[in-house]
Amino acid sequence: MGQSKPALVLLLLAVSTAATVGKPLLTKITKSGASTALYTAPLSAGRPLVLDLSAPAITTPCSGQTTTVTLSANSTDGSNPLSPVSFAATATCAAAPSGAVGVAGLARSSASFPAQVAKTQKVANSFALCLPSDGRTGFTGNGMGAAIFGGGPFFLAPPADRPSITTLLSDGVPLRQPFAGNPGYFVSATNGIAVGGARVAVSGSGALVVGLSTTIPYAQLRGDVYRPFISAFDRAMGSSAKVAAVAPFELCYNSSKLFLTRFGYLVPDVDVMLEGGTNFTVVGGNSMAQVNSGTACFAFVRSGGSTGATPAVVIGGFQMENKLVVLDNDKKTFSFTPNLPGRGLTCSNFNFTKAA
């Protein structure tokens, strides 16, 4: 009988541990109008908070320095919402962005929304974003995507028997230290950038620092990277479909002369060649913005700042749309799927019908 006690203790510990593990939380993501192009989630009693990969904290208008707010989402199995969940969170007092009641800071900080979800719900400090398109890329889209905080699978439907799209994720790319005091997410492009499979020659040597942003609408490149990059795309495209520039873009084309595929317009791919040999590939649906009915522009812009003070590249929200992007703060990795419309899906395909 004495030999059964250790086994019983282990069983009780296992049951106790299982009981303390929560379920990931699910929320819708909405893309706002073209004037701001921000992504929001209805986390504050159904009211929108801006999702910001660079913000270290939850913020809300209030007096003082911090306050306690009640946030809400739904637990999920990765396929559907299961049940409503509300929890108290610490927020910093700050003015709200236009069209929202605050900010859900997603950066690498103990005060961020993912970190507070992990602590209160006893789930992983990891989150998955599937940013929606508003239909201006050649893809269909209703401006509604999904985010899951806490790890686990992520299913898009139909059909119901389709495997989790997390099976399509790249290998994890190591996250690098915060850059120039910014607590957001940075990776290293050890092999630089390629256009149409040809590496772009950039002055200087060494890896390029690449940031991620959900509040910058289009990818920004520092001046020393932008000029050779734009020139490379211009050469690869040729001039047959080229038209006058439309701000803020430099290269624009007659879209009726561009061939539209399930990946968007058929234009040279852009590869950000990341540490470990993984490429963040930008196809036409994420590189060409439809600025009007007859014009599509190459959606990369020049940033200000100098070498050492500004990342070489910041991947904007437009370049991450209709991909599943996973940022795992426990493992300190960044991973992502290929372009989903190329596989017959968009981020608008998540089934928000509650499970029976």
pLDDT value, residue 18: 44
Is residue 185 predicted with pLDDT exceeding 50?
yes
pLDDT value, residue 180: 77
pLDDT value, residue 135: 59
Q: Are 283 and 197 in contact (CB under 8 A)?
A: no
Tell me how far apart the alpha carbons of residues 26 and 79 are, in angstroms, rounded to a whole number. Answer: 10
Backbone torsion region of residue 151, taken as left when φ is above 0, otherwise alpha when ψ lies between -120 and 50, otherwise beta? left
Task: Using pLDDT thresholds of 50, 70 and 90, give the confidence band for residue 5.
Answer: low
Weakest-pLDDT range from 96-105, 142-151, 274-283: 142-151
Is residue 226 predicted with pLDDT exceeding 60?
yes
Tell me how far apart the alpha carbons of residues 198 and 195 are, in angstroms, rounded to a whole number. Answer: 5
Mean pLDDT of the chain: 90
Is residue 56 predicted with pLDDT exceeding 80?
yes
User: Beta-carbon neighbour count of residue 211 at 10 Å?
Assistant: 25
User: Beta-carbon neighbour count of residue 96 at 10 Å?
Assistant: 17
Name which residue leads in pLDDT, 157 or 341: 341
Phi, psi of 4 (to 5 degrees): -85, -15
**Cα dihedral sign, 168-171-176-179:** negative
Task: Using pLDDT thresholds of 50, 70 and 90, give the confidence band for residue 267.
Answer: very high
Longest dimension (CA), the chain: 86
Please tell me the number of Cα atoms within 13 Å of 238 on its side-chain side. Answer: 5
Burial (CB count <10 Å: 0-12, 13-18, 19+), residue 222: buried
Closest CA to 249 of 317, 318, 300: 300
Tell me how far apart the alpha carbons of residues 271 and 289 are, in angstroms, rounded to a whole number. Answer: 18
Is residue 250 predicted with pLDDT exceeding 50?
yes
pLDDT value, residue 148: 97
Tell me how far apart the alpha carbons of residues 172 and 152 are, in angstroms, rounded to a whole number. Answer: 15
Is residue 24 predicted with pLDDT exceeding 50?
yes
Is residue 344 predicted with pLDDT exceeding 50?
yes
pLDDT value, residue 161: 66
User: Beta-carbon neighbour count of residue 18 at 10 Å?
Assistant: 8
Is residue 8 predicted with pLDDT exceeding 90?
no
Closest CA to 319 of 223, 204, 193, 153: 193
pTM summary value: 0.91
pLDDT value, residue 139: 52
pLDDT value, residue 10: 40
**Cα dihedral sign, 280-271-37-60:** positive
* For range 64-90, the mean pLDDT: 96
pLDDT value, residue 355: 75
Task: Using pLDDT thresholds of 50, 70 and 90, give the confidence band for residue 12.
Answer: very low
pLDDT value, residue 106: 98
pLDDT value, residue 3: 47
pLDDT value, residue 140: 54
pLDDT value, residue 205: 66
- Reported residue count of the chain is 356
Contacts with 217 (C-beta within 8 Å, 6 or more apart), sequence order: 37, 316, 317, 318
